[in-house]
Amino acid sequence: MKQYLDIVRAVLETGEEKPDRTGTGTLSMPGAMFQHDMKDGFPLLTTKKVPYRLVASELEFFVKGISDKDWLRERNNHIWDEWCTPLKIPYAHDEATKQRMLEERDLGPIYGWQWRHFGAEYKTFDTDYSGQGVDQLQRLIGDLKTQPHSRQMLVLAWNPMDRDKVVPPFCHYGFQVTVLNNKLNLFWSQRSVDTMLGLPFNIASYATLLHLLAKESGYEEGRLTGFLADVHIYKNHIAGAREQLSRDPSAHPLAKLETENFTSIFDWSYTDTKVVDYKSFPGIKFDIAV
């Protein structure tokens, strides 16, 4: 995972101080690219332990188009606990508001809801949206199976009409797939990149999505590419970033990803997919900036 560490190093060496929505402060760098060939292994960081169970269950949450964070909590996944839709609790930094945000279960029209119901009117997490909006994921898979040479296999999460209904608003806002030489390649675009806490999850999540789409369509797994815009390290993450850079990325080989009993991505459960032979350095504590 040298490419990831190169991004970390570049932000520390060239990043400039910049204020941010959370009030934490960042070092920020304008633009980077992450690339990985899936034939080299599954890109789960080895320079710190990444809990794949959380990555995979969040991806199932997205694929199913769910916006109720209790679904994640029931699976002991708490990465969305601090957030909720401003439609219910207007975003603020004071402790009373943070507590109300923690207790509210409605996340609003977030990533997966946009993947499955783009253009529909969002109401509540428990509204039945069947047949409403554009099911972009279904359309992408249909195109992948019927016209795999298309350059229009694109899924967007960024909907300007819904930007103010979610916090944070669609950090990774779209992905595209292409097929070349019988290999499926996936490209994702990200406007805001939390390099230490978020990016390792984004890499593993989109690599898993690539893996699942390849199984769905019968193609081999190709290249994963991330186009990264505002690449930043929060100031309270700098010490951990330096610790991670001190670790040898070649000390542990990359793991492999295996999925059992696969029939369709729409029937997939995160427990069907396992990371095999994953070894890493210990985890590093990075506090989330809310």
pLDDT in tens, 218-230: 999 999 999 999 9
- Quick check: 290 pLDDT over 70? no
Instruction: Read off the pLDDT of each residue in 142-165 and give the average, rounded to a whole number.
Output: 96
Mean pLDDT along residues 116-143: 97
Mean pLDDT of the 28-52 span: 97
Per the DSSP assignment, residues forming a β-bridge with 226 are 34, 188
Q: Are 15 and 236 in contact (CB under 8 A)?
A: no
Distances (CA, A) of 189 to 119, 138, 174: 20, 20, 5
Tokens of residue 274, six digits: 């396992």
Q: Which residue has the tokens 């080989």?
A: 253
The answer to whether 185 and 178 have CB atoms below 8 angstroms apart is yes
Tokens linked to 35: 């690339």
- Average pLDDT (67-87) is 97
pLDDT of 275 strictly over 80: yes
Q: Find the largest Cα–Cα distance for the chain.
A: 55
Tell me which CATH homologous superfamily contains domain 2-276.
Thymidylate synthase/dCMP hydroxymethylase domain (3.30.572.10)
Q: Running DSSP on this structure, what letter comes out for residue 75?
A: T
- Across residues 93-107, what is the average pLDDT? 95
Residue 289 confidence (pLDDT) above 80: no
Average per-residue pLDDT for the chain: 96
Q: Report how far residue 285's alpha carbon sits from residue 44's, in angstroms, rounded to the nearest whole number.
A: 17
- Binding residues, by number, are 21, 191-194, 202, 232-234, 289
Q: Which two tokens stand for residue 95?
A: 């402790």
Q: Which of 13-27, 49-63, 73-87 has the lowest mean pLDDT?
A: 13-27
Tokens of 155: 């899924």
- Is residue 84 among the annotated active site residues? no
Q: Is 58 left (phi over 0), alpha (psi -120 to 50) or beta?
A: alpha
pLDDT at 186 over 80: yes
Query: Has residue 188 got a pLDDT over 80?
Result: yes
pLDDT confidence of residue 23 = 83
HSE-up (13 A, CA, CB side) for residue 239: 5
Q: What is the pTM of this model?
A: 0.96
Whether 168 has a pLDDT exceeding 90, the answer reads no
Active-site option among 171, 186, 214, 275: 171
Nearest to 85 by CA among 4, 167, 19: 167
